[in-house]
Structure 1
């Protein structure tokens, strides 16, 4: 049975507001190719905006710029961070941009509103020796040999590739077959990129793959369980290790390494990957491709970290800087 055709644009003005949002989110997921986490973020932001509009007796079809600004004032009064307020305004802009393009509204009431801006932020990172401590600790953390080998593989891959944790835990096992020198990673918006593997990462991957395949074969024979298509299989609904489980595991490894868990997150390891490459002389555009950044300006934040590192070296070692 084919889906019912969409009503003409004029009819959308009579829709309940939640349908505007649902249609927008469906479009972002299907046509714009937005990542699942991006769509979920839009959904959370717009649900709060809809709640405000409903309590204020407003409708998406007719509310004004003043109404959007009143919502942002309320967000400020609630003590929300600048970054959160900026993101919510961006979500509202996108919704009304979609409504304008679809002909549901004649304007975008959020278009010319100036956002709160975001605070200057520099990515936290780790030293090379601290990453070494984490990798070593991963190889001795776990209830048994299989856990320890898996944990070492997870950490080696994360640091060697700069993957997002969502990309890491959902890797298909097919990508790891044949002792690959490079991994094919599917990132945000289903965009694919190739990332080289270091020799230690390849060795850790090979060791884990052998144990994983043996366990999968045993489960197939004893339990008639179909083999998983993921490199890090799990009984979770998605079929692979949930991000929350990895986060708990990373905390355990961090404590075993003698480091402060507040300083170590999956994203910090991604930052360490990029920062260490830059410090080693890598090209910024190459790092952009490896990280899967759509815009080079996103990658350029790492240059500030390296600038600080170089400045410190000069102040510490240059003869004219002594005593300054």
Structure 2
């Protein structure tokens, strides 16, 4: 049923003075200096205040056009509600979803939560916070990336860290167990293209010298750390947090409950398994090595229950091994071991299981251009005896 207007009538509009405004039912009509009448709408739709200019009377815009705009906005809001999960009547804002996400991660012991909170605080919430969580489109995500890289001059690699947090938030929000948004509402997130950088890889001789240097170091646990880095594809932060309760020597596995890509079971080599058993036995002789103990024990005065970092000790070993400490960091051991898997023709799904990468795309970042398999493969393009000889390139004789 159409509204019966008492204020925005044709008679009142014709009598409207310059600079004066008539308002009724979310519609405003203002007399401009040139004698025209400008129509605008200002209404609440699904908890959001919407203010739009409809147009001016001289262009044929009438009060009816303003009414139709309001009805269209409300229809679009109703259609938006149809995309919500069955559990929800109204959409969460991104800020509300972010708060639920943080609470859930705290409850379940989610990995890297401190960094994700920082991502939310610095850029994600200021940009997306007030938006409806089910109305964040691919275009809005691209605008966010442009803001980070073009306006704030952040590197693509840094921008992708924020996108990774955003992607994980949407993944949890659309999970059937949460139902904060529907899966259809999750936007496509394209990573910012990163310039390809050189990845340092240790040769067999480099690895042998590094292990020897670690064995000779004053730190009694450095050798085990380096051996683990080279033979388990482990991340530095995950390795220092290993507990004996998660070590299954008979299965040659180390369970990692708080791995970067989610809980996983890390396969171990025979040599590394033996070294871990020897370390556990050594600790038990000293009154440690129980299930609740960490493999790498903290130093004196440490605030953490386990060794915080091997960075300084590792640097000593790198220098003693004659390697460049500006290039060879603990993460280089992970690069080296994963590259060894790929260049040894280990099937990619199995290599992914060992490395703990969430996707094959991430795993392939470790496939280096120096791969001898690539060199051998490209030689297939060269016939054994080329039909083109240098003679064909000689200039004709005069």
| TM-score, shorter chain, exceeding 0.5 | yes
> What root-mean-square deviation, in Å, do the aligned CA atoms of Structure 1 and Structure 2 show?
4.2
- Contact 2:246–2:254 (CA under 8 A) maintained in structure 1: yes
- Contact 2:136–2:187 (CA under 8 A) maintained in structure 1: no
Structure 2, gaps ≥5 residues long:
1-86, 387-398
1:72/1:133 Cα in 2 relative to 1: closer, same or farther (>3 Å)? Answer: same
1:262/1:313 Cα in 2 relative to 1: closer, same or farther (>3 Å)? Answer: farther
Aligned length: 288
> What corresponds to 1:233 in structure 2?
297
- SS in structure 2 at match of 1:276: helix
- Asked if 1:36 corresponds to 2:111, the answer is yes
Which runs of structure 2 are paired with 1:54-93 in the superposition (5 Å)? 59-61=130-132, 71-76=144-149, 77-92=151-166
Return the offset for 1:135.
0.4
Higher relative strand content: 2
> What corresponds to 1:166 in structure 2?
237
1:52/1:302 Cα in 2 relative to 1: closer, same or farther (>3 Å)? Answer: closer
> What corresponds to 1:213 in structure 2?
284
Per mean C-alpha deviation after superposition, the further-off stretch among 267-276 and 278-287 is 278-287
> Could you give the per-residue CA deviations for residues 267-304 of structure 1, whole angstroms, max 9, x where no partner exists?
21012112223334433332222112232333233444
Which runs of structure 2 are paired with 1:272-283 in the superposition (5 Å)? 272-283=336-347
1:89/1:172 Cα in 2 relative to 1: closer, same or farther (>3 Å)? Answer: closer
> What corresponds to 2:329 in structure 1?
265
1:306/1:191 Cα in 2 relative to 1: closer, same or farther (>3 Å)? Answer: farther
> What corresponds to 2:98 in structure 1?
21
Decide which structure has the larger Cα Rg and report it.
2
Measured in 2, the distance between the counterparts of 1:279 and 1:113 equals: 31
Structure 1, gaps ≥5 residues long:
1-7, 221-225
Return the offset for 1:130.
0.7
- SS in structure 2 at match of 1:300: helix
> What corresponds to 1:185 in structure 2?
255
- SS in structure 1 at match of 2:254: strand
> Could you give the per-residue CA deviations for residues 18-60 of structure 1, whole angstroms, max 9, x where no partner exists?
5542212233565xx78412x3343222211256449xxx723
Measured in 1, the distance between the counterparts of 2:342 and 2:168 equals: 34
1:282/1:95 Cα in 2 relative to 1: closer, same or farther (>3 Å)? Answer: closer
1:309/1:129 Cα in 2 relative to 1: closer, same or farther (>3 Å)? Answer: farther
Return the offset for 1:193.
2.0
